[in-house]
């Protein structure tokens, strides 16, 4: 009985720690990227699945949190703002790569989506060279040229870790939302 209550106490301490670190990292993300978080395009990624039941939106937020955690745990001095913004935009390809059709075959998605994400992100935000490098190289070694900035190395590592957790269902999502906020916007404009 005592062993069970000790285990419960340990569990609740762990959950409190996790909740606290989640709150702290969320605060940092909000401060570094308020414009990205409210963007219609960014919000539209809630309707696309990345792996398993995890949406692209949840995935990039996880990658931003993991990137922060890696840089802080390993005491890596880096540009945290670029790290967060690059992580949030690294999969900004804005389509569902599982739905193939004649017009959008999404062939070799793994190879080509960093370029598409970079074009979409650059059209909407003023990107720094470091942020561009994060987006363009995050699929390394698929994208042959290795990252130039340490922030890009961190996001590349965090992305692989998050993708693995999603693929083996260690990270479970809530599935995609059906509505596209970009549609609401264009309907309002009519």
- Give buried/exposed letters for 145-167 (b at 16+ CB in 10 A, else e): eebebebbbbbbbbbebbbebbe
Q: Which range, of 20-28, 101-109, 152-160, 180-188, touches Fe ion by CB under 5 A?
A: 152-160
The stretch among 12-20, 30-38, 154-162, 179-187 that binds Fe ion (CB under 5 A) is 154-162
Output the smallest distance, CB 59 to Fe ion, in A: 6
Q: How many CB atoms lie within 10 A of CB 20?
A: 10
Is position 91 an interface residue for Fe ion (rule: CB under 5 A)?
A: yes
Asked if 55 and 175 touch (Cβ cutoff 8 Å), the reply is yes
Closest CB 10 distance from Fe ion, rounded Å:
33
Return d(Cα 116, Cα 36) in angstroms, integer.
17
Q: How far is the CB of 76 from Fe ion (least distance, A)?
A: 20
The tokens of 184 are what?
A: 């609401």
| 25 or 55: CB nearest Fe ion | 55
CB of 160 to Fe ion, least distance (A): 9
Judged by beta carbon, residue 91 or residue 131, the one nearer Fe ion is: 91
Closer residue to Fe ion, CB minimum distance, 91 or 133: 91
CA atoms within 13 Å, Cβ hemisphere of 71? 23
Please list every residue from 159 through 178 that binds Fe ion, using CB under 5 A.
159
Smallest distance from the beta carbon of 91 to Fe ion, in angstroms? 4
- Please, which residue, 130 or 134, has the CB nearer to Fe ion? 134
Residues 45-84 as x/- pattern, contact with Fe ion by CB under 5 A: ----------------------------------------
The packing angle between helices 150-167 and 80-89, to 10°, is: 40
Could you tell me which stretch among 101-109, 125-133, 151-159, 169-177 binds Fe ion (CB under 5 A)?
A: 151-159
Binding site for Fe ion (CB under 5 A): 91, 159
């Amino acid at each position: 009985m005592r062993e069970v209550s000790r285990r419960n106490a340990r569990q609740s301490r762990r959950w409190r720690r996790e909740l606290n670190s989640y709150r702290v990292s969320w605060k940092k993300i909000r401060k570094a990227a308020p414009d990205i978080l409210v963007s219609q395009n960014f919000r539209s990624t809630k309707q696309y699945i990345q792996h398993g039941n995890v949406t692209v939106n949840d995935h990039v937020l996880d990658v931003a949190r993991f990137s922060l955690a890696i840089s802080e745990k390993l005491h890596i001095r880096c540009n945290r703002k670029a790290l967060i913004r690059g992580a949030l935009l690294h999969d900004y390809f804005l389509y569902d790569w599982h739905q193939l059709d004649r017009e959008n075959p999404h062939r070799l998605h793994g190879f080509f989506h960093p370029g598409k994400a970079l074009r979409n992100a650059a059209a909407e935000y003023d990107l720094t060279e470091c942020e561009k490098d994060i987006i363009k190289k995050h699929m390394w070694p698929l994208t042959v040229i290795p990252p130039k900035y340490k922030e890009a190395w961190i996001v590349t590592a965090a992305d692989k870790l998050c993708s693995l957790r999603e693929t083996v269902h260690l990270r479970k999502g809530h599935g995609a939302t059906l509505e596209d906020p970009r549609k609401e916007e264009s309907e309002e404009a009519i």
